[in-house]
Structure 1
C-alpha cells in the first residue's frame, strides 16, 4: 500500500479506503480509479473470497492489545489483521487492556466462552517478552503473539527485524561516504532501541569504522529530544556528517536543529529516520527512513491463526522476524568536501 500511495501521490489511508471499498468517503472517482489501476499493475490482491449466505461457525478473532492510543503503529497492525481476516471470511474484535490485569482477565473470561471464537491474537505496542495469561494457556483455541514473544512453548510470534533495520539505515549512510555517523536512539531498556543500536554497531564494524560512544545519544522518541540531541552532536568540535535517528519524530527534530544551524540537508548533513510514518514523505526534504512492517505483521498473525484453527493444528514455537526495508528518499547525500 505504501508503494501504491507513492505512485498515486496520495496518503496510505486513502489507498486503504479505496482498496477496502469503504463507502461514504470523499475520495474522488478519479483518485479511486487511479489507485485501483496502480494496484492492478503491481499485483496487489484485491479479490476477496466469495461469501455464502451462512457464516462459518467459528469466524471471530479476538485481538487483545495493551495499548491503542500511544502510537499509530497499533492501528496499522490491526488494519493488516482485519483485512486478512475479512478475506478469509472472519472478523476481528479489538480490545485494549491498558496493561490492567483485571481488565485483561475480564475480557478473556467473556470472549473465551464465545462459541464463534476462532482464536486470539495477543499484541503489545512495544516489542517485548510477555507472560502469556493463564486463561490463554488453558484455552482450547490457537494463540498467536504479535510484536511480542514468550518463554512458553507453543506460541508462534512475529516481531520486526530491528537489528537488520538499524544495520540497513547505517549502511546506507556509510555507502554514501559517511564515516562520522551519529545515532539518536530511544530509551535503551526498550527492545526496539537496543536492537536498532546493535544494527548500527554491526554496520560500523562491517565498514571498519570505530564505534564512538560520544556520537550516540539516548532520546525519548519525541521531536524535542531529537532536536536537543542533534544540536549537541552538531556542535561538537568534530561533528557527525550524518545522523541515524531511531524514529521519524526524532528525525524531524534533527531536521529542525540542522535548519537552526543553517546546515543544508543533504548538502551538509544527511539524516535517516525509522518507522516510515506518513510525515516522512511530506517533510522537506522527504525523509529516507526504515519501514516498520506493521501491516504485514498483522496479516501474518491473522493468516497463521486462521490456518492453525482450520487445520486443527497446535501452535508451533516459531518466531518470525519480519524485514524492515529501507525507504530511500532525498535526505541522504555524500558528505560535503572537507567533512
Structure 2
C-alpha cells in the first residue's frame, strides 16, 4: 500500500505546504528559498520558512537550472476556477515548479469558463514569446475549446476534448475506486456500501465503475441497494450513512466518493453509537487537508493534481524542443494513503 509521503498525503510537499506550516505567504516562501537579498524579511521569518521546508522535505527548484527550449519563456495556464476547491491551484503549482526548472515563466489566468474571456487571454498573450497553453478545469469533464486555443501548443488538465485533438492529463478515478474498494475487502469487510458523488460527473461515474470492478474481481455480487447518491457535501454523507445503516443487513464498510462526505459519514456513525473502524470501516477520496485530522484519521486516495500540472508543463516543454506528444489521455494514479479508518482496532 502506498504510504503518506508528503504533507497532507500528497506524493510530495509543495510550496503551499511550507507556507502553511511557517504561517507565511507563498510569496514569502519563494523569496526566502530563492535567497533574495533585497527582501525585507526578519531573521525569524526566514528561519521559520527554512525549518518548515526542512521538516517537510520540500525541494525548491531554482529558476533556470535547465535551459528553456527555443528561447520561448512563458507558459499560460488558463483555469476555469481556483477558489471553490484547491485542485487547480495545485495543478498550477506543479506546472510552475516544472517550468522553473527550465527558466520558463508561467502565468495563471482565471476564465470562469467564458470562451470570450479565454479568447481575449490567448490574443493578449500572443504578443509574448509564449511556449504554449495549459487549460484546466476544476471538475473532470468534457470541454470544447474556443478556436483561439485550437493549436498543437495546448495541453488539457483534468479535462478532455471529444475529438482527442489535444493531449490531456487526467486523474485515474476508475483505478482509484477499485483500489479503495479492494482495500476494504483486504481488511476482511464483506458488505461494502458506496456513497457516490453528484450524478453525471465524470469522477462519480468512474469511481463507481472501479467499485463494481473490485467486487466482480472478488466474486462478490453487486447490490444496488448498497449504492447511495450523494453530492460531494458532508450532509449527503451523513444522510446516506443513516440510510445504509438502517438496512436489514447494513454494511460493515462504507466507501465515500470524497472526503467531505466521509466527514458526514463519521458524524452519522457516531450518532448511531458505532465506532470507526471497529464496527464500520470508512475510506474516502481526494486527501483533503481535513482527512488527516478526523478521528480516527481517514484512509483515502490522493487526487494527483500537482503531478498532473507537472506532466502538462513537461509535455509543452518537450513539444517546444521537438518531442511532440500524440494527443493521448494520460491517467495519473490516485495513490492510497493509509491511516486508521479501515483496520479494526486490536482486540
The match for 1:180 among 179, 191, 194 is 191
Distance (whole Å) between structure 2 residues aligned to residue 27 and residue 246 of structure 1: 39
**Matching of residue 206 in structure 1 with residue 217 in structure 2:** yes
Which consecutive unaligned segments of at least 5 residues does structure 1 have? none
Aligned counterpart, 2:132: 119
Which is further off, 326-335 or 87-96? Answer: 326-335
Q: Note if contact 1:177-1:334 (Cα within 8 Å) is conserved in structure 2.
A: no
**Matching of residue 104 in structure 1 with residue 106 in structure 2:** no
Shift of 1:334: 4.1
Distance (whole Å) between structure 1 residues aligned to residue 289 and residue 45 of structure 2: 18
* Cα gap change, 1:280 to 1:27, in 2 (>3 Å): farther
Aligned counterpart, 1:322: 332
- Aligned 1:287-306 pairs, distance under 5 A: 287-306=298-317
Aligned counterpart, 1:286: 297
The match for 2:77 among 36, 51, 63 is 63
Distance (whole Å) between structure 2 residues aligned to residue 38 and residue 247 of structure 1: 25
Q: Note if contact 1:156-1:316 (Cα within 8 Å) is conserved in structure 2.
A: yes
Which consecutive unaligned segments of at least 5 residues does structure 2 have? 33-40
Distance (whole Å) between structure 1 residues aligned to residue 143 and residue 312 of structure 2: 16
Look up the SS of the partner of 1:224 in the other structure.
helix
- TM normalised by structure 1 equals 0.87
**Matching of residue 191 in structure 1 with residue 195 in structure 2:** no
Aligned counterpart, 2:38: none
Shift of 1:174: 0.3
Shift of 1:72: 1.4
**Matching of residue 171 in structure 1 with residue 187 in structure 2:** no
Aligned counterpart, 2:5: 3
The match for 2:50 among 26, 29, 32 is 32
Q: Note if contact 1:97-1:104 (Cα within 8 Å) is conserved in structure 2.
A: yes
- TM normalised by structure 2 equals 0.85
